[in-house]
């Protein structure tokens, strides 16, 4: 594997930073959009917005021929995310707070490290497993201490659904890492959008259309389609193509921070002391598992 794929370049670093900041804000945009639009219709709309943009670039990316020989893996990647991922996440946000859902994404780096060890043969240390158990315990504390509210009527169920969404995200990251060796990041992002739009198209028939639609939800959907599905996934796929899967996933730690800050200002959400404790425990668990191992300096011989 080329050294550029082993080490994190500055370009990949900023791409991953930008992607996770946009993803952190996506929880807020989803909540705003779902005030007037059904969850599945929101997901279809964001896929459609991104697909229109990718459609203008499709020929320049090589069209269908560019994915020849890998369509089953490209389809599996898209099935994991956006298809299954957004089903679980959109439902999760109907039951729990955006800030709690954002906290649960802290599990993704550790879960990805475990999967990368199994499927990509990346090294998995005992510290990673210990951090995973600690992070899972933190999520459990945060969920159990959650209080019912109009914005979070069933936080335990919502947090569990968000955890399942993270499992789908792991499948996406691992598959994307494999595909990135042969395909451009922008092409993989376009394939995700097109396949996601087709997958969620039944929402046009079965999902209820909003009785009224104000500017806020409309702008939220446009932001989800352009800022998140088009830009964020493109940036993240670029970063994944140039870094180990576990290292790229570690940037997901930014999502809970961004989500909690933005949800406080835009959604007026607050966390209970128990939830802050659980969230802190989760972040500590992630920090334990994601901290780079110390390099052993070779001894010098006199």
Compute and round to an integer the Cα radius of gyration of the chain.
19
Listed range (28-37, 205-214, 242-251, 291-300) with the worst mean pLDDT: 291-300
Listed range (4-8, 17-21, 194-198) with the worst mean pLDDT: 4-8
* pLDDT at residue number 300: 47
Reported as a pLDDT band with limits 50, 70 and 90, residue 219 is: very high
**Residues in Cβ contact with 25 at an 8 Å cutoff, skipping those fewer than 6 apart:** 223, 227, 228, 258, 259, 262
Q: Which residue has the tokens 């595909």?
A: 179
Report how far Cα 226 is from the mean position of its chain's Cα atoms.
16
Say yes or no to pLDDT of 1 above 70.
Answer: no
- Compute the average pLDDT of residues 166-175: 93
Other Cβ atoms less than 10 A from the Cβ of 145: the count is 16
* pLDDT at residue number 255: 76
* pLDDT at residue number 130: 78
Listed range (68-77, 113-122, 225-234, 283-292) with the worst mean pLDDT: 283-292
Model pTM score: 0.75
Question: 97-109 as b/e, with b when 16 or more CB fall inside 10 Å?
Answer: bbbbbbbbbbbbb
Q: For the chain, what percent of residues have pLDDT higher than 70? A: 84
* pLDDT at residue number 183: 86
185 or 203, which is more confident?
Answer: 203
Give the C-alpha separation, 205 to 214, whole Å.
Answer: 22
Q: Sort 226 into a burial class: Cβ within 10 Å, 0-12 / 13-18 / 19+.
A: middle
* pLDDT at residue number 51: 94
Say yes or no to pLDDT of 297 above 60.
Answer: no
Do the beta carbons of residue 191 and residue 67 sit within 8 Å? yes
Helix axes 126-144, 273-290, angle to 10 degrees: 170
* pLDDT at residue number 43: 92
């Amino acid at each position: 594997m080329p050294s550029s794929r082993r080490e994190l370049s500055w370009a990949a670093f900023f791409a991953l930073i930008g992607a996770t900041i946009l993803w952190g804000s996506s929880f807020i945009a989803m909540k705003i959009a779902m005030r007037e639009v059904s969850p599945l219709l929101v997901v279809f709309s964001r896929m459609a917005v991104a697909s229109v943009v990718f459609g203008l670039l499709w020929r320049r990316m090589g069209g269908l021929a560019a994915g020849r020989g890998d369509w089953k893996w490209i389809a599996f990647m898209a099935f994991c995310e956006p298809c299954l991922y957004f089903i679980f996440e959109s439902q999760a946000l109907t039951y729990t707070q955006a800030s709690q859902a954002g906290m649960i994404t802290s599990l993704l780096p550790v879960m990805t490290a475990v999967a990368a060890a199994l499927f990509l043969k990346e090294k998995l240390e005992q510290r990673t497993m210990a951090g995973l158990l600690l992070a899972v315990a933190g999520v459990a504390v945060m969920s159990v201490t959650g209080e019912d509210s109009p914005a979070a009527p069933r936080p335990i169920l919502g947090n569990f659904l968000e955890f399942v969404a993270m499992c789908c995200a792991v499948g996406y990251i691992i598959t994307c890492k494999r595909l990135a060796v042969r395909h451009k990041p922008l092409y993989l992002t376009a394939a995700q959008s097109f396949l996601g739009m087709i997958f969620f198209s039944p929402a046009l028939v079965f999902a209820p259309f909003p009785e009224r639609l104000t500017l806020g939800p409309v702008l939220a959907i446009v932001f989800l389609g352009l800022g998140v599905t088009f830009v964020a996934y493109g940036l993240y796929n670029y970063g994944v193509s140039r870094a180990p899967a576990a290292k790229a996933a570690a940037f997901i730690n930014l999502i809970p921070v961004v989500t909690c800050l933005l949800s406080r200002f835009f959604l007026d959400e607050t966390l209970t002391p128990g939830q802050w404790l659980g969230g802190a425990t989760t972040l500590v668990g992630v920090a334990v598992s994601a901290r780079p191992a110390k390099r052993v300096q070779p001894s010098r011989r006199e």
